[in-house]
Amino acid sequence: MKNSRVENATASVGIIGFGAFGQLIAKHLNQKFKMLAYDPSPHLREDASKLGVSIASLGQVAKCDVIVVASPVSSFESVVRSIAPICRPGAIIVDVGSVKVQPSEIMDRFLPEYVSIVATHPLFGPQSARNGIRGLKVAVCPIRGHHHTHVAAFLRKHLGLHVIVTTPDQHDRDAATVQGITHLIAKVLLNMGPLPSRMTTKSFDLISEAISMVQHDAPEVFEAIESANPYAKEVRQRFFSMAFELNSFLEDSERHD
Amino acid sequence: MKNSRVENATASVGIIGFGAFGQLIAKHLNQKFKMLAYDPSPHLREDASKLGVSIASLGQVAKCDVIVVASPVSSFESVVRSIAPICRPGAIIVDVGSVKVQPSEIMDRFLPEYVSIVATHPLFGPQSARNGIRGLKVAVCPIRGHHHTHVAAFLRKHLGLHVIVTTPDQHDRDAATVQGITHLIAKVLLNMGPLPSRMTTKSFDLISEAISMVQHDAPEVFEAIESANPYAKEVRQRFFSMAFELNSFLEDSERHD
């Protein structure tokens, strides 16, 4: 572990995609690493310099010791293909998206043999991380090489995260329910308009809090969960068919009253 | 207030309906009042004596200074009609159900002029009250007489509750959303089977916690919310129509991919 790039204070970390999540990563790593970030949007220099991160070209970022791909699902494959020919032997490539099967396959297919690949999914966002990330959960899937043990140790030891080692397939099965259900409920309730906040029960307050945590998520997150997770459709169909069943049951019992 | 029966330590409180909620009330009032309880089920003597409550006939309970009707919606009217001819002048009749319009009308129609009527809805149940009730919410609707101010003061001062004074109509409007939505979501998710508990997000944990708070509620609670609240149907129809709309939207966007 001593020789691991992840545990080496002078290691460089490059973030590709400097949106809300890329910035959250920077905020928690900037004390420990030399940080570079690349984003296609040109308006991020100020945000970056506040976080102690240098905005750089994709070519520069791709030469870091650890490369964190935090791009939306839609551009994930093109980003991976762009860095594949430039990244250095021994580099660790980490992704952080909400689905794991598809990005892991893309990284495994296009990245050169001489890099390590660790697929991760921090099970939190800017909202749930507002009061710090200690104790929050992160899924870690070993894809290639043994660096996942260093990544997991770092996340546990230095960031205080609860690390769940799993496979991309098992991750996507669980996430389809966990994230799929949360976002479906949030979408339905937010479409219903402003919810009561004064005369509420404890359980309703918990549901409102859950919704407020995901309501400002980028649209790409919902898109990723619903269209890029191979198990999302099944969960959605079960959710809606249970809802339809309950609806018919209540309509029927009304008719018989 | 000094002369109020509610603030008088020797006042008697009679609970009609000694189910989970009637027992919760007893637990929080037994230090302060002489407590009697009536329940049609004969198996409650032991529970009652543990709580310092004497099981009595409906006739005895109906002669208390304060009568709390904690019966299910289905038998509410017959209970009110039974106690109407026996209750004493100056008595305070309080109900505690999840809906307020219908029970308030029943109490107002059948109870004699010489009693006070206060409709209440403690916005919690045995699950959410497990760690005490201080800070939890209770809706209080003045129906007849001025004793509602004493009842509200008692709930605030002695039980530490957050009292929300409202009308039966406004209560039912808000509760239709607050309780209707919580129970609809809980029913749908519980029908989907065991939910993941390991690889979860904070927001999903909050939803799971909300569900666990209502999943052991008596079936009468769901029934009361769905069929006795005049606004429940409208909320349910909006919930389901938003769900259907989201379903079609997701099916469509899949087809066009």
Identify the residue whose tokens are 């296609």.
A40
Predicted confidence (pLDDT) at residue B1 exceeds the cutoff of 70: no
User: In chain B, which residue's Cα lies nearest the Cα of A207?
Assistant: B207
Task: Flag whether pLDDT at B7 surpasses 60.
Answer: no
Q: How do strand A137-144 and strand A116-122 relate by DSSP bridges?
A: antiparallel
Q: What is the pLDDT of residue A251?
A: 84
Residues of A in contact with B204 (CB under 8 A): 178-179, 181-182, 210
Q: What is the mean pLDDT of residues A131-158?
A: 96
Are the Cβ atoms of A137 and B247 closer than 8 angstroms? no
What average pLDDT does the segment A34-38 reach?
Answer: 95
- Angle CA B9–B14–B17, to nearest 5: 145
Chain B residues with beta carbon closer than 8 angstroms to that of A207: 181-182, 185, 206-207, 210
Q: Which of B123, B184, B226 is facing A200, going by the closest CB pair?
A: B123
Nearest CA in chain B to A256: B227
User: What would the pLDDT profile of B87-140 be if each residue is shown by its tens digit?
Assistant: 999 999 999 999 999 999 999 999 999 999 999 999 998 888 989 999 999 999
| One-letter amino acid for residue B145 of the chain | G
Residue-range domains of chain B with CATH: 12-166 (3.40.50.720), 171-255 (no CATH)
Which residues in chain A are closer than 8 Å to B209, comparing Cβ atoms? 203, 206
Using CB atoms and an 8 Å cut-off, which of residues 16-45 of chain A contact chain B? none
Tell me, yes or no, if A164 comes closer than 8 A to chain B by beta carbon: yes
Query: Are B136 and B123 contacting, i.e. CB atoms less than 8 angstroms apart?
Result: yes
**Cβ separation of B203 and A192 shorter than 8 Å?**
no
> What is the least distance, in Å, from the CA of B218 to any CA of chain A?
16
Nearest to A168 by CA among A148, A142, A132, A145: A142
**Residue A129, CA distances (Å) to A69, A161, B80 in order:** 19, 11, 52
CB within 8 Å of B171: residues ≥ 6 apart: A199, B100, B101, B121, B139, B141
The answer to whether B129 faces chain A, any CB pair under 8 Å, is: no
Q: Which of A45-54, A105-114, A191-200, B21-30 has the lowest mean pLDDT?
A: A45-54
Mean per-residue pLDDT for B166-185? 95
Residue contact A206–B207, C-beta within 8 A: yes
How far apart, in Å, do the first and last CA atoms of chain A sit? Answer: 70
- Inspect the interface and report whether the beta carbons of A192 and B250 lie closer than 8 Å: no
Residue A257's pLDDT is what?
58
Kindly determine whether residue B203 and residue A182, on different chains, have CB atoms separated by under 8 Å.
yes
CB contact under 8 A, A191 and B242: yes
Average pLDDT across chain B, whole number: 91
pLDDT of residue B216: 85
Residue B114: what pLDDT?
A: 97
Q: Which of A199, A247, A249 to mutate to probe the B interface, most B CBs <10 Å? A: A199
Taking residues B215-240, report their average pLDDT.
87
Say what the pLDDT of residue B2 is. 41
The Cα of A24 is separated from the nearest Cα of chain B by a number of Å equal to: 16
pLDDT digits (tens, 9 = 90+) for A125-144: 888 898 999 999 999 999 99
The reported pLDDT for the residue numbered B219 is 80
pLDDT at A29: 93
Residue A126: what pLDDT?
A: 83
pLDDT confidence tier of residue A3, bands split at 50, 70 and 90: very low
Contacts of B181 in chain A (CB under 8 A): 189, 195, 204, 207
**Residues of chain A contacting residue B225, judged by C-beta atoms under 8 Å apart:** none
pLDDT digits (tens, 9 = 90+) for A213-246: 888 887 878 888 888 899 999 999 999 999 989 8
DSSP alpha helix (H) spans, chain A:
20-29, 45-50, 58-61, 73-83, 101-110, 148-157, 168-191, 202-214, 219-223, 232-255
Mean pLDDT of chain A: 91
| Spatial distance between the Cα atoms of B79 and A116, rounded to a whole number of angstroms | 73
Q: What is residue B9's predicted lDDT score, i.e. its pLDDT?
A: 54
pLDDT of residue A4 exceeding 70: no
A-B interface: how many C-beta pairs under 8 angstroms? Answer: 166
- Mean pLDDT for B180-201 is 92
| List of residues 6+ apart from B30 with CB closer than 8 A | B51, B52, B53
Q: Looking at the predicted structure, is the pLDDT value of residue A1 above 50?
A: no
pLDDT above 80 (res B256): no
C-alpha R_g of chain A: 20
Residues 179-208 of A with CB under 8 A from B: 179, 181-182, 184-185, 187-189, 191-192, 195-196, 198-204, 206-207
